[in-house]
Amino acid sequence: MVLLRYLTVIVLPFLLVFIPASSEARSSIAKKVFDKVNPFVFQIKTALSADSSKASYGSGFIVSKDGKLITNYHVISGVLNKDKDYKMYLISEKESYEASVLAIDVINDLALLKIDKKFKKHLKLARKMPSQGAKVFSIGLPKSLNMSITEGNYNGILKNGLYSRVNMSSPLNSGMSGGPTVNASGEVVGVNVSYLLLSQNISFSVPVNHVRKLLSKKITKEKTAKTKDFLHEDIEKQIFSVQQQLMKDLSKNKNKDLMLNNWRVKKPSELLNCWSDSDKDEEGFYENISETCYLDNSIFLKRGVRSGHYSISYQIFETEVLNNWQLLNLATWAYNIGSRYAVNFKKKHNPFLTDYNCAETRVINDYNIPMLVNYCLRGYTKYSKIFNVDVKFMTLDKNSSVLTMEAFLRGFSLENIKEFIKKHVDSVRFKNSVSDQSLP
């Protein structure tokens, strides 16, 4: 008892002294980072004029003494994609500066801008990324409020094909997009870009190496003289490079299969995030097996329009109770009504995309499986070489089992769309089919 009293008297005051000190030290680091970085971070807005209400806004930061700055492409995309003559402005406390676009990295959601103002200093780009668990700080103007700093931890870089993101455990809010993510020394390690909905402080920034590449792009006076046309040509090339990489990764699994009960289909690319499910009807009439795969990242083109990604899903309906007519009726309902496919064509006209061009056909694939195939194709009004397609197929010959596939491709060439459909249609086979006798 004497010892317990001794510990209470000596140890507890010790804790009371040092715990607040540790918290104060953390607060001091954030303050030092903020004071160092804040002079080079500004609000970026798009508007018809400097005095007009903003059409969009975000943050940006200075990366050179001659007035170059970095922000997200999605912050200023309206300048390129809206019919009205929107402009970009850097907003400081006393005045605003009109900005011009020098270059865009649409794959990584970055834009390089320039204003007519000189700076004595600028933010430095980090030479290496932080170690796992190290403190990082994000700075920007959330919801058009005061310049703010949030603190989190560096959790490595996530990679999906050509897309890469810094994974952070820190809060980001609308308006902070385009602001810098910095280390404890105030050096830029990334660019604030997004957060994961319905998560507990999972946010992302674009790794600083992409900023460095964008700064190294050669910009000529001839190109800046026709900025919008040149930038749209560059965007189309970047989208094309992404879908070429996606097709290359798809080809890696050309001799690999995915087993779905009695069906074999083409194994999805390892870039995709896949989920499976199995469910039986309450009355025991049929079983429904599904596999859904999608690419986590995409290219932002404008609000409501994303490119450079795809998803694919399979559903199987199997029964020992229903007759062929009943099973096909059930599968047809899911095929036509119980999916996003039917909803897409009810959407209003989009000036950024052409109207849908749809067709239906019946084919017999390499394994003698007859199928119903539907597809709807639409193009981009600004990019003549890339298209979106929604495609579905349904097998027709198995009395006790029906397989359906649904795929959504965004930003692919016609050649690659045809190749994608052919590969997936031709890969389908039933394990007991005549052409599949050699398979285990």
84-119 confidence digits (pLDDT tens): 788 999 998 878 999 999 999 999 999 999 999 999
Stretch (H or E) spanning 404: strand 401-412
Residue that finishes a domain, picked among 151, 185, 219: 219
CA atoms within 13 A on the CB side of 157: 19
Domain boundary among 219, 249, 264: 219
Q: Are 215 and 241 in a shared domain?
A: no
Selected residue with higher pLDDT from 255 and 61: 61
Angle at 326 between CA 320 and CA 330, to 5 degrees: 100
**148 vs 283: which has the higher pLDDT:** 148
**Total domains in the fold of the chain:** 2
Q: Which of 170, 195, 219 is the last residue in one of the domains?
A: 219
Residues 306 and 394 occupy one common structural domain: yes
Mean pLDDT value across residues 134-139: 96
The average pLDDT across 141-153 equals 88
- Same domain, yes or no: 310 and 392: yes
Distance between CA 438 and CA 440 in Å, rounded? 7
Q: DSSP letter at 436?
A: G
pTM: 0.86
Q: What is the predicted pLDDT for the residue at 26?
A: 54
Q: For residue 25, is it within any domain?
A: no
Q: In angstroms, rounded to a whole number, what is the distance separating the alpha carbons of residues 42 and 50?
A: 15
In a domain? residue 315: yes
User: Do 245 and 177 fall within a single domain?
Assistant: no
- Poorest-pLDDT segment among 174-183, 212-221, 331-340, 359-368: 331-340
Distance between CA atoms of 162 and 221, rounded to whole angstroms?
A: 29
Q: How far is CA 309 from the centre of its chain?
A: 8
CA distance 111 to 90: 14
What lies within 8 Å, CB to CB, of 156 at 6+ separation is 132, 166, 167
Q: What is the CATH number of the domain that holds 193?
A: 2.40.10.120
Residue 417 domain boundaries: 234-436
Q: Does some domain include residue 113?
A: yes
Asked if 102 contacts 219 with a C-beta cutoff of 8 angstroms, the reply is yes
H or E element in which residue 190 lies: strand 188-195
Between the CA of residue 36 and those of 129, 182, 207, what are the distances in Å? 19, 11, 21
